[in-house]
């Protein structure tokens, strides 16, 4: 299978939006997924986030992605934050997710980041297995806070 990993662009945003919708459905959170493709377009154009995509070269279809941004950790300094990491089920267990992960880490290193952080819902056991295999620290002593504006 010929899959290209590349930096995403504005033309990829509808496919990225669809992948995020698949993830929201998978974790039973679809009603909370309210961002539109137009929101994605506007925010991407302003540089609010970045994407790395996996494209099946035979079909020219985006089949996976990492959506990330750069933030600052007062404890560590520059940080890359992974918002979503999705790979369609038919493409899993073929090394594509690992390739996306490696490119994501490289993007952080290129910008001088000291830390890669993300969240994973505890019901997403497949993601937990992947992150554990990456020798990631899965914290259980910090609580997430949020406030809708």
Q: What is the mean pLDDT of the chain?
A: 94
45-66 pLDDT tens trace: 999 999 999 999 999 999 999 9
Joined tokens for residue 104? 């994501």
* 113 burial via Cβ count (<10 Å: 0-12, 13-18, 19+): buried
- Is 72 one of the catalytic residues? no
Domain of residue 46: give its range: 3-133
pLDDT at 53: 98
- Assign residue 47 a region: left if phi > 0, alpha if psi is -120 to 50, beta otherwise? left
Residue 148, in any domain of the structure: no
Q: In this model, does residue 1 exceed pLDDT 90?
A: no
- The more confidently predicted of residues 31 and 140 is 31
Alpha helices in the chain (DSSP H): 13-26, 37-45, 96-110, 125-133
Residue 118, in any domain of the structure: yes
145-8-91-33 Cα dihedral, nearest 10 degrees: 40
pLDDT at 140: 83
CATH value at residue 30: 3.40.630.30
Residue 146, in any domain of the structure: no
Which residue in the list 40, 68, 81, 131 is annotated as catalytic?
131
Which stretch of 76-80, 105-109, 129-133, 137-141 has the lowest confidence by average pLDDT? 137-141
pLDDT at 137: 86
Q: In this model, does residue 91 exceed pLDDT 80?
A: yes
Residue 26, in any domain of the structure: yes
- Report how many domains make up the chain: 1
Whole-number CA gyration radius for the chain: 15
- Band the pLDDT of 113: cuts 50, 70, 90: very high
């Amino acid at each position: 299978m010929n899959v290209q990993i590349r930096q995403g662009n504005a033309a990829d945003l509808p496919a990225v939006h669809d992948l995020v919708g698949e993830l929201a459905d998978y974790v039973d959170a679809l009603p909370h997924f309210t961002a539109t493709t137009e929101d994605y377009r506007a925010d991407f154009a302003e540089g609010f986030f970045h994407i790395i995509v996996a494209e099946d070269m035979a079909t020219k279809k985006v089949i996976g992605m990492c959506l990330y941004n750069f933030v600052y950790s007062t404890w560590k300094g520059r940080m890359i934050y992974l918002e979503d990491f999705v790979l369609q089920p038919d493409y899993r267990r073929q090394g594509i997710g690992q390739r996306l992960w490696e490119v994501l880490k490289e993007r952080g290193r290129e910008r001088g980041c000291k830390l890669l952080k993300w969240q994973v819902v505890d019901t997403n056991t497949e993601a937990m297995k992947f992150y554990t295999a990456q020798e990631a620290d899965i914290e259980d002593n910090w609580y997430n806070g949020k406030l809708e504006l």
